[in-house]
């Protein structure tokens, strides 16, 4: 059920688009190719099990966690706030 000028199903379409965008972004950032034995950032060994689980991995777990945290900032807000819609 949509309200106002929105058609029925518009909210679900926004949810579907948000999920599709997140999946596409995750796939774009997935490593490809041969895994590195040493982290490209800090030079530490990358465990063999990590290299087997993620083909093409280039960073250790610690450095990847820092990169993921930095990437998580921002994003697209398709919902907007009601305050901005009322002005």
pLDDT of amino acid 29? 80
Report the DSSP beta bridge partners of residue 45. Answer: 38
The span from the CA of 78 to the CA of 40, in Å, is 35
CA distances from 26 to 9, 31, 53, 84 (A): 26, 10, 16, 30
Per-residue pLDDT tens over the stretch 37-77: 999 999 999 999 999 998 899 999 999 999 888 877 665 66
pTM for this entry = 0.51
* Residues 41, 61 contacting (CB under 8 angstroms): no
Percent of the chain with pLDDT strictly greater than 70: 76
Report the DSSP beta bridge partners of residue 38. Answer: 45
The span from the CA of 8 to the CA of 73, in Å, is 32
pLDDT of amino acid 32? 82
């Amino acid at each position: 059920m949509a309200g106002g000028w929105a058609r029925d199903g518009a909210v679900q379409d926004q949810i579907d688009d948000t999920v599709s965008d997140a999946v596409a972004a995750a796939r774009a950032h997935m490593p490809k190719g041969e895994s590195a034995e040493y982290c490209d950032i800090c030079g530490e060994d990358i465990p063999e099990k990590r290299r087997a689980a993620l083909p093409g991995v280039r960073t250790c777990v610690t450095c990847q966690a820092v990169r993921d945290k930095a990437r998580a900032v921002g994003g697209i807000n398709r919902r907007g706030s009601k305050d901005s819609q009322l002005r």
